[in-house]
Amino acid sequence: MMRALGTLHTIGMGPGDPELLTLKALRLIGQAPVVAYFAKRGRVGHARSIAGARLHPDAIELRFEYPFTTELSIEDPRYPVDMGVFYEACAGRIAAHLDGGQDVALLCEGDPFFYGSSMYLYDRLHADYPHETVPGVTGMSGCWTAAGLPIAHGDDMLCVLPGTLDEDRLVDRLLGCDAAVIMKVGRNLAKIQRALRRAGMAERAVYVERGTQDGQCILPMTGMDGRAAPYFSMVLVQGRQRLR
Amino acid sequence: MMRALGTLHTIGMGPGDPELLTLKALRLIGQAPVVAYFAKRGRVGHARSIAGARLHPDAIELRFEYPFTTELSIEDPRYPVDMGVFYEACAGRIAAHLDGGQDVALLCEGDPFFYGSSMYLYDRLHADYPHETVPGVTGMSGCWTAAGLPIAHGDDMLCVLPGTLDEDRLVDRLLGCDAAVIMKVGRNLAKIQRALRRAGMAERAVYVERGTQDGQCILPMTGMDGRAAPYFSMVLVQGRQRLR
């Protein structure tokens, strides 16, 4: 006897404002019998909180709690091992529902294929199950819009840089681009400030925290001295605006 | 006597699939008394076609037809002058409605602040009128999702490069990043292919035309020899996938 497999819907939930959900995301999360999402320990989970009351009332929720409460450096040898075990277990829980013929909606903040944790589950599942991915508004689009900063024009080159890079490499990359987005600010803030000054970009850099969400905070980078930044904040450098 | 000014809503319409509109975009375009958009000569206009029948039935449409039927190089001295005159005229037509107290929805494919023509109108109008911008799903998110390519992971560095760059500069930039998006392919295709080969990225590069739309075409870059590419196609190079 054969049973039809369920479909994995990996769904971009946008940057935070629930009104920035797409129509497709809204339709799929409203009819999904099983909904999965990542969350930090003790938190609702960002993607889940964007969905709010829009899930089907009978939906089964699979909550995947990250094994680390604070940032464990990506360079730490334990990181990839522990995370691999965690992602494997999450994929297994989803697969059990897909095997039983139930569709699963995997919620992902921003756009799933752009630095999303859900990619590690997609990587493990997509060869074996029907699947569809729904792109979303990225966190960076939410941030540059909230800051009123048209980020890239004409033939500007835009770089998306992790704040985890060492200072010299950050400077080198900043010098090679017109517009920049620096993610994963957190404890890298002071280093990022030094790199921006060395690249001559400090004056036009803007810091954005919780873009499009409650508690949104937008500051010129020059006004950030002494301030602490959460991990999920970003720094934006607008392109050259050569055309008018 | 004073009259309240209208609000300029600059609205990201997403990459092409009308179901990738956000709830906020849908709400604002459904109630706008005036709707403005760019279009090529003889075409409906991409942003307008995404809106379809979702505009208010009594909406006034302002159609801004680009003055060039074929690509005029951004290096041509006539380009910025002619485009400046054109944008100035478009901004003036919008301002007339805002002055009269009517809200105007300016439709923009993708995300307005990410290489959107609407930025040149926003730049001219935002200091003088109430305004709100709605981010959208970018064309590149639509393309990498359609291609099934998680583009950037962990601490990958992503570069967005215009295909108009000269070959050596393209190679240099490609060597400095993990993941890449090359836009404005068109007649730059052969040069982009050479640059990808020199950077050792040709094998993992994917060509996407009309992502998320009718006529979508996705091909490995190595299978593109002899094929012509339209201007609004792109090439994607996936990041290193260091974590599993």
Closest CA to A21 of A141, A135, A150, A118: A135
Nearest by CB to A22, from B20, B27, B148: name it: B20
Give the mean pLDDT of chain A.
Answer: 91
CA distance B241 to B152: 7
Can you read off the two tokens belonging to residue B22?
Answer: 């956000």
**Are B135 and A148 in contact (CB < 8 Å)?**
no
Is B70 found in the same domain as B130?
yes
In this structure, the answer to whether residues A149 and A53 fall within a common structural domain is no
Q: What is the pLDDT of residue B73?
A: 65
A154 → chain B, closest CA residue: B115
Q: Write out the two tokens for A226.
A: 């002494």
Helix H or strand E encompassing B134: strand B131-134
Higher pLDDT, B140 or A229: B140
* A243 within a domain of the structure (yes/no): no
Confirm whether B2 is domain-assigned: no
Question: 3-state DSSP call for residue B142?
Answer: helix
Total domains present in chain A: 2
| pLDDT > 50? residue A213 | yes
Backbone angles phi, psi at B171, to 5 degrees: -60, -45
Task: Decide which of B102, B137, B172 is a domain's last residue.
Answer: B137
> Is A203 contained in some domain?
yes
Q: Both B58 and B116 in a single domain?
A: yes
Q: A105: part of which helix (H) or strand (E)?
A: strand A104-108
The mean pLDDT of A27-34, rounded to a whole number, is: 98
Q: Look up the CATH number of the domain holding residue B51.
A: 3.40.1010.10
Amino acid identity of residue B141, one-letter, is: S
Domain boundary among B85, B104, B137: B137
d(CA A6, CA A93): 13
> Tokens 């003088």 belong to which residue?
B128
What is the pLDDT tens value at each position of chain B, 244 positions in all?
677 999 999 999 999 999 999 999 999 999 999 999 999 988 889 999 999 999 999 999 999 999 865 556 666 777 777 889 999 999 999 999 999 999 999 999 999 999 998 999 999 999 999 999 999 999 999 999 999 999 998 889 999 999 999 999 999 999 989 999 999 898 899 999 999 999 999 999 999 998 888 889 999 998 887 778 887 799 999 997 644 4
User: Do residue A106 and residue A130 come from a single domain?
Assistant: yes
Give the model confidence (pLDDT) of B53-70 as tens digits.
999 999 999 999 998 655
Domain that holds residue B61: 8-137
Question: B137, B168, B189 — which closes off a domain?
Answer: B137
DSSP state of A88: H
For A125-170, write each residue's pLDDT tens digit.
Answer: 999 999 999 999 999 999 999 999 999 988 899 999 999 999 999 9
Answer for the pair A24, B17: CB distance below 8 angstroms, yes or no.
yes
* Residue A145 vs residue A82, higher pLDDT: A145
Nearest C-alpha of chain B: how many angstroms from A133? 6
C-alpha span between A88 and A72 (Å, rounded): 19
pLDDT band at A81 (very low <50, low <70, confident <90, very high): confident
> In this structure, what token pair is assigned to residue B30?
């459904």
pLDDT exceeds 90 at position A69: no
Q: How far is A120 from chain B (nearest CA, A)?
A: 6
| Closest alpha carbon to A27 in B57, B29, B18 | B18
Asked if B56 and B72 sit in the same domain, the reply is yes
Contact B160 A161 (CB under 8 A): no
- Residue identified by tokens 């930025």 is B119
Contact between residue B145 and residue B236 where contact means Cβ atoms under 8 Å apart: no
Do A175 and A157 sit in the same domain of this protein?
yes
Between vectors from CA B153 to CA B149 and to CA B156, what angle results, nearest 5°? 115
